[in-house]
Amino acid sequence: MDTHDNCSQKGRDDMAQYCRYCANMVCGDSNYCTVREECFSDEYVKRVNKCKDFDLNEIDALGENERGYIPRKGKEKQEEQCAGQMSLADMGKEEE
């Protein structure tokens, strides 16, 4: 398995998928999916989807995001944000 196949599999399982970051999407005067053989609106290609034919391409097909695809931090990072804070259950307890 080459690196490209590995990326596309990871894209299906671990990340939010957008048509704009799919290797099968061709954008120009219209947004055309080469696998599904359909045209889509700009709004549609910017939405999260679960397409089984998704193949990660980190370059934005619409050309709007010059930095390319940047995965968002997962929920694990968000849970650490509250580490060390008191819970509401602890507030009623008296310290001994």
Q: Are 55 and 8 in contact (CB under 8 A)?
A: yes
Helix (H, G, I), strand (E, B), or coil: what is residue 84? coil
- pLDDT at residue 9 in the model: 42
CA distance 9 to 70: 17
CA distance 94 to 4: 57
Joined together, the tokens standing for residue 49 give 């989807």
Report pLDDT digits (tens) over 50-88.
899 999 888 888 888 888 887 766 555 555 666 677 777
Domain boundaries of the chain, sorted by first residue:
1-60
pTM score: 0.57
Q: What ranges in 27-84 are assigned the alpha helix state H?
A: 42-45, 75-80
